[in-house]
Amino acid sequence: MNIHDPAIETERDDKAPVIRPTRAQAEEAVRTLLRWAGDDPEREGLLDTPARVTKAYGDWFRGYDEDPGAMLQRTFEEVAGYDEMVVLRDIRFESYCEHHMAPIIGKAHVAYIPTDRVVGISKLARVVDAFAKRLQVQEKMNAQIAATLNDVLQPRGVAVVLEGEHHCMSTRGVHKPGVSMVTTTMLGEFRTDRDLRREFMNIIGNPTNRSG
């Protein structure tokens, strides 16, 4: 994210352009929040905080500058006729709740059934990160990952399960740490074939059935 440019346009999910403020404007916003919290942004310990926060935002929200679909363009056709499930499980992700901007920390499990081509496994993790590094609602993020894999790879089926701890719930409000939210998206054969879906859930450890 080039947070130095005075006017950078991105697109929202509805394709409307978003004009980004300058870095100086972002840093001044951080100073305002520091004053609102009750501290003095001019004291020694906070002098560099606005610059550090804007730099951190460039990392935390870099997904707005990434194209998840483009990450899947390079595929491999020499798979010797392999047509079974491909699963990448326990992909750690760090996202941020769009309601409170609090962290959502968790893991993603992704599977697809190839037709005639497969994609490098690191690309699956990159797609998860590209959507995670934005302000998110977990259900929407789940659907976005699955839809991108389905649209670009054109597989026989896609399955995505996300497990996330929402810090807007664990560090504020009801203060319930250790609670995980589980969301699922099943497309193609994973939606229509109950046995296939059960096999996938067993492979990833079936988070919906865990206890203790």
Clarify whether 99 is annotated catalytic. Answer: yes
Phi then psi dihedrals of residue 112, to 5 deg? -150, 160
Pull the structure tokens for residue 150: 């389905």
The active-site residue out of 100, 165, 189, 199 is 100
Clarify whether 138 is annotated catalytic. Answer: yes
d(CA 211, CA 207): 9
The active-site residue out of 98, 165, 189, 199 is 98
The active-site residue out of 97, 109, 136, 163 is 97
The active-site residue out of 99, 109, 136, 167 is 99
Clarify whether 136 is annotated catalytic. Answer: no
The active-site residue out of 165, 167, 168, 199 is 168
The active-site residue out of 27, 109, 144, 166 is 166
Clarify whether 100 is annotated catalytic. Answer: yes
Q: What angle do CA 163, 148, 61 make, to 5 degrees?
A: 65
Q: 């099943």: which residue's tokens?
A: 186
The active-site residue out of 27, 109, 136, 138 is 138
Bridge partners for 167 per DSSP: none
Residues labelled as active-site residues: 97-100, 138, 166, 168
